[in-house]
Structure 1
Amino acid sequence: MLIAKPARDGFRVVDSFSRIVRLGEGLSRTGRLDDAAMERAYEALLLCGERVAKKGVDSSRLMAVATQACRQAENGPAFIERVRVGTGLKLRIIDPIEEARLAVRGCLNLFDPSVEAVLVVDVGGGSTELNWLSKRGDSFVLEGWMSAPVGVVTLAERHPEPAGALDDWYEAMVNDMGAAIAEAPVNPALRELFVSGRAHMVGTSGAITSLAGIHLGLRRYQRNLVDGLWMTRGDCEAAADTLKRLGAAGRAAEPCIGPDRADLVLAGAAIMEAVQRAWPSERVRVADRGLREGLLLQQMREDRKPNRRRRRGRS
């Protein structure tokens, strides 16, 4: 949840809240949202509803969306209705292209204006959205996108962590994700921009921010140090190697990961590595932002339109 007010350089955060609920847990096996997962998500949404009400947010100014788990699950609409009745939050299930475009909008000011192309990678629990943009004039234009039905939860469930050495297990996850993104819906010539160093990646989600926290050796998560950080491909691989050496208990003890993400973080690292192999990029920019911020910026842009019309009418 994110509540904000418009500001000259974007917006000012009034309140925010997040909780890992793993709504898609078990979905790849059953095709349904699990009862325990729905309960976790419902409790978190109940808290969001209470905080929204406490801040006096006008319901017409509230945007609430659901993504892959609710799109895919047979009982997704029933869960949406339960949330509406119990919390007052009217969740709208958005399609993959809208999710992808919102993630891009939330990260636009992290693009290096000197490059010729950018790949935005948004890793979720049940899917991963990839967006390719190329430079045209002073702006970046979407060249193509895909929603791969592989996220950190689905990948971790397909590949349970073994005891002992983890290299082969990790490689299997990388290959699984690599197969899912093998047929990129963009001109193959675009890849040359990445190979030749004229493009970069932007990673948004816990998958990349966790790697950033490990890379920086943070003893507590600090968004101001992570958001906008530049990492090299080697930095990402070194952080993944550190996570493998730590083991499950060591990962759970890391302040930038914690027990809720300990069994998912290497799946996220594997997804990022698969993308980097397919679209070689020496530079990766870390984004602790994405869909929520994209929604806010979209709403603020829409809010300004009638104001402009009213000003023109008075002049």
Structure 2
Amino acid sequence: MPSIYAALDLGTNNCRLLIARPLRDTGRTDSFRVVEAFSRIVRLGEGLTNTGALSEAAMARTLVALKICSEKMARRGVTMARAVATEACRRAANGPEFLHEVKASTGIGFDIITTAEEARLALSGCGPLLEPQHEQAVVFDIGGGSTEVMWARLHRDRRPEVLDWISLPFGVVNLTERHGAGHIDSGSYGAMIDEVAAHLAPFEARHGLNAAMRAGKVQVLGTSGTVTTLAGVLLGLPRYERRHVDGCWLEFPAVIEQSRRLAGMPVPDRAKHPCIGEERADLVVAGCAILEALHRFWPAPRLRVADRGVREGVLLEMMRGRS
């Protein structure tokens, strides 16, 4: 029987599991067949900005989701697995203690990865969507507690190389907790954009990517719930479907226009859209603000959307024998 791999990504907002089997007959190292996927919004980092610790309610929600993941992995006969935890567990004073409890309750052992490894894994997972005719790429991953921005070069074998990266201390959860659910009329949406842009400015000043982008040499690719949600809205999907979203191209100005429309809506109206729903309605505008700050520096005509990232990167590296 072929090996069955599992990758588990525990973020500030989401818990994501991917179980897959490598496609060895293709001769490629970026191919696998998904056996099962699971994703749940757990808001593990809820309240972390104010308290510095994971709350009892957030840990309880997350533990329920991780028990489901453990059951799925056992049922599928997983032979090799890696579980990684990101910003919430990095920042929380009780993060290691919580993961020790997770190990005891579910048998899943987590690695708390650095922002550098998180960026590298996200880029590895998204690599197959980078087009070889572009010399460089800006790839960003808007998370719940942080946002990783990578400047990459694509080699002939299509593997991307990180030239530089930055981890911004902003994600949809902590930015929402500081500014509220975001609204144009109140000024909170603009304040979010300005705060994120101030942290991006030194990165752009160091590399001058704006000029290369205007010359058509740089592709922009985004991976996060924010960009996939916006894609679902702009594509007019009656419900979210990954097959329509992953790899799609969006006109970047249309993305910004849609972001501002959402920022002009009350939260209950946002929740009515089937690709947003109640779970994302209060968080999505913070992601839009991060996206608009990125566009301020790198106004590419088009944005490619990836419904893939860290967990796919973990899978690929295990299959290549790096983990």
Asked if these proteins are the same fold (TM beyond 0.5), I'd say: yes
- For 1:29 and 1:44, the matched residues in 2 are separated by 24
Q: Where does residue 299 of structure 1 map in the other structure?
A: 318
- For 1:191 and 1:227, the matched residues in 2 are separated by 26
Q: Give how far 1:282 is off.
A: 1.6
Listed one character per residue, the Cα deviations across residues 250-297 of structure 1 (whole Å, up to 9, x for unaligned) are 211211111111100011111111011122222210000000100001
Q: Where does residue 171 of structure 2 map in the other structure?
A: 151
Report if the CA contact (8 A) 1:100-1:129 is conserved.
yes
Q: Give how far 1:217 is off.
A: 1.1
- For 1:205 and 1:82, the matched residues in 2 are separated by 28
Indicate the RMSD between aligned Cα atoms, in angstroms. Answer: 1.9
Q: Give how far 1:112 is off.
A: 1.8
- For 1:254 and 1:161, the matched residues in 2 are separated by 16
- For 2:185 and 2:221, the matched residues in 1 are separated by 27
Listed one character per residue, the Cα deviations across residues 157-178 of structure 1 (whole Å, up to 9, x for unaligned) are 110137x854622111111111
Determine if the alignment matches structure 1 residue 15 to structure 2 residue 36: yes
- For 2:155 and 2:22, the matched residues in 1 are separated by 28
Q: Give how far 1:132 is off.
A: 0.2
- For 1:217 and 1:246, the matched residues in 2 are separated by 18
1:243-262 equivalences under 5 Å are 243-262=262-281
Q: Where does residue 313 of structure 1 map in the other structure?
A: none
Report if the CA contact (8 A) 1:132-1:145 is conserved.
yes
Determine if the alignment matches structure 1 residue 72 to structure 2 residue 91: yes
Report the count of equivalent residues.
Answer: 301
Listed one character per residue, the Cα deviations across residues 213-239 of structure 1 (whole Å, up to 9, x for unaligned) are 111111111111100111122121122
Q: Where does residue 14 of structure 2 map in the other structure?
A: none
Q: Give how far 1:188 is off.
A: 2.3
Q: Where does residue 37 of structure 1 map in the other structure?
A: 58
**TM-score where L is the length of structure 1:** 0.91
1:234 maps to which of 253, 257, 261? 253
Which has the higher mean CA deviation after the structures are superposed, 22-31 or 128-137?
128-137
Listed one character per residue, the Cα deviations across residues 58-93 of structure 1 (whole Å, up to 9, x for unaligned) are 3xx011110000001100000000100001110110
Say which SS state the counterpart of residue 19 (structure 1) adopts. strand
Which has the higher mean CA deviation after the structures are superposed, 207-216 or 273-282?
273-282
Say which SS state the counterpart of residue 41 (structure 1) adopts. helix
Which has the higher mean CA deviation after the structures are superposed, 139-148 or 238-247?
238-247
Say which SS state the counterpart of residue 141 (structure 1) adopts. strand
Report if the CA contact (8 A) 1:150-1:180 is conserved.
no
Larger Rg, first or second structure (1 or 2): 1
Q: Give how far 1:196 is off.
A: 2.6
Report if the CA contact (8 A) 1:240-1:269 is conserved.
yes
Q: Where does residue 96 of structure 1 map in the other structure?
A: 115
1:6 maps to which of 22, 26, 31? 22
Q: Give how far 1:182 is off.
A: 2.2
- For 2:156 and 2:99, the matched residues in 1 are separated by 42
- For 2:52 and 2:297, the matched residues in 1 are separated by 29
Q: Give how far 1:190 is off.
A: 3.2
Say which SS state the counterpart of residue 207 (structure 2) adopts. coil
Say which SS state the counterpart of residue 221 (structure 2) adopts. strand
- For 2:278 and 2:194, the matched residues in 1 are separated by 26
Amino acid at match of 1:17: F
Residues 107 and 161 of structure 1, relative CA distance in 2, 3 Å threshold: closer
Say which SS state the counterpart of residue 181 (structure 1) adopts. helix
- For 1:300 and 1:82, the matched residues in 2 are separated by 28
Which has the higher mean CA deviation after the structures are superposed, 255-264 or 164-173?
164-173
- For 1:261 and 1:135, the matched residues in 2 are separated by 33
Report if the CA contact (8 A) 1:197-1:282 is conserved.
no
Residues 180 and 34 of structure 1, relative CA distance in 2, 3 Å threshold: farther
Say which SS state the counterpart of residue 228 (structure 1) adopts. coil
Structure 1 segments unaligned to the other structure (5+ residues) = 306-315
**TM-score where L is the length of structure 2:** 0.88
Residues 28 and 138 of structure 1, relative CA distance in 2, 3 Å threshold: same
Say which SS state the counterpart of residue 126 (structure 1) adopts. coil
Instruction: Kindly indicate which of the two structures has a greater share of residues assigned to strand.
Output: 2
Say which SS state the counterpart of residue 260 (structure 1) adopts. helix
Residues 113 and 272 of structure 1, relative CA distance in 2, 3 Å threshold: same
Amino acid at match of 2:50: R
Structure 2 segments unaligned to the other structure (5+ residues) = 1-16
- For 2:197 and 2:228, the matched residues in 1 are separated by 21
